A and B are shown apart, each in its own frame.
Chain A
C-alpha cells in the first residue's frame, strides 16, 4: 500500500518536474553550476573506482582465460565487460552514492527546515528551482564522467596486464580496439544520460517526500541511493538488450 502511494507520488513528482521545466525559463547558469559541482566532487572517487575495476577485470579475465589457453583474449574481455557494462553501471552507482545522496539530503533538510514551503510562499516553483538545475546538470556531466571512467579503466587494465601479469600491451590494445566500435561509446553515453535522469528524479523525490527531522533526512538519503542503484541495474539490462542484444 505504501509502495503504491510512493509510486503515485513519484509519478506526480515527475509530471510536476516536467511541467515546471517546460513552463519556466531554463536555469542555464545554475545548471552549469550543478554540473560542475557533481562532476568535480564525484571525479576523485570515480577515478579510484575505475582504476581498481579495470585492474580487477584484467586479473579475472586472465585467470578465466588461462584455463582455456587464451590469455591473448584478455584485452577483448576487459574492453567488452569494462566499456559496455562495468563503466556505465559503476559510474551510475557511485554518482548515486555521492551526488544522489547529497541531493536527497539537501532537499530533505530544506523540507525539515520548511525552506520548500518558504519557496512556495514566494511563488517560486520548488520543482523548477531545486530539481530542474540538478536534472540538467547531471544529464550534462554523467556521460563525460563515464568517458573519463572508461579511459581510466582501460589504462589501468593495460598497466596491470603488463606489469603484474606480463601480458603483451600491443595485443591488449589491438583486441580492445577490435571489440569496441565508436558507436559503443555513444551507447555508453546514452546509458549514462538515462541513469542520470533516474538518479536525479529518484533522489530529489526521496528528498521531497521525506519526513521532517534527523531520522527522516537519514531515511530519505538511504532510500535515494538504494532505489536509484536498483533501478539503474534493471534499466541497464533493457538498454543492453536493445543496444547490444541480437
Chain B
C-alpha cells in the first residue's frame, strides 16, 4: 500500500517534470491553447459566479448580524472585500475550475487514452504531452487568475445585493468604505494563489487523465481522483500561501 502510494507519487513527479520542461521550451501550440482557454473560461464562468455571488451575500448577511450589535455597519463592505479577495474567491473559483475544467480535462484525456488516441499520436511521432497536455495546462494557468478576478467582483456585488438592496444599508457607505482595509497586495495575493492553484489543478488533471486505465470505469475514477486530490492539495497549499503572502507570525 505504502509502496504503491510512493510509486504513484514518483510517477507524478516524473510526469510533472516532463510537462514543465515542455511548458518552458518552444514550440508552443498557441491555437490549441487559445481553444482550451476559451473552453475553460466559457464553461467555468457561470458556475464561478453562481457560487461566489451567494457566498458574498452570505458573508454580508452574517456580517450585518454582528456589526449591527456594535453599530459598525460601515465595516461591512471592507469585511466582504477582504474575505472575498483574499480567501473566498481564490479558493472557490479554483474549486469550481477543478470540478468543471479539471475534471473535463481528465475525462477528455482519459477517454483519449482508453480509445488509444494517445498511442496513435505517439505512433505518428507527435509528442502527446506537447499537443494534448501543455495547451490544457497553460490554459488553466491563465484562466484561474482571470476567473478569480470575475469571482471577486461577483462576491463584492453579492455583498452589495444583501446589504444595500435587501437590507437597506446606504449605497454610498458600502462603496466608499470598500477599500478601507484592502490593499492592492490583496489583489496580487489572490493572483499568486490562483496561479499556484492553476498549476496544481492542471498537473493533477492531466496526470490522472493521461494515466487512466480500465475502460469506462477508469475514466470515471480518473475524474473522481482529479477533483478530490486537486481540491485537497490546494486547500492545504492555501494555508501556507496565506501565511506567506499576508504575513502572519505571532507577535
Contacts and interface: CB of A to CB of B under 8 A. Distances in A.
Contact of A60 (B47, B58, B87, B96): B87
Given A52-B236, A236-B54, A218 B65 contact: no
Contacts, number: 186
B87 A218 contact: no
A67 B182 CA distance: 11
A56 B241 CA distance: 10
Interface string A52-82: 1101100110111001000000001000110
Interface residues of A, number: 59
Nearest to A93: B95
Given A56-B238, A84-B62, A222-B107, A108 B220 contact: yes
A209 to B, nearest CB: 15
Q: How large is the interface on B (under 10, 10 to 19, 20 to 34, 35 or more residues)?
A: 35 or more
A225 interface: yes
**Residues of A contacting B: mostly:** helix
A119 B249 CA distance: 60
A80 B65 CA distance: 11
Contacts of A59: 239, 242-243, 246, 248
B250 A234 contact: no
Contact of B242 (A48, A56, A80, A84): A56
Interface string A77-109: 000110011000100011001100110111011
B48 to A, nearest CB: 9
Contacts of A213: 111, 216
Given A63-B246, A105-B221, A218 B96 contact: no
A49 interface: yes
A109 B216 contact: yes
The 7 closest A-B pairs by CB, nearest first: A218-B107, A105-B220, A166-B250, A237-B54, A215-B111, A221-B223, A101-B224
Interface of A: 45, 48-49, 52-53, 55-56, 59-60, 62-64, 67, 76, 80-81, 84-85, 89, 93-94, 97-98, 101-102, 104-106, 108-109, 112-113, 163-167, 213-219, 221-222, 225-226, 229-230, 233-234, 236-237, 240-241, 244-246
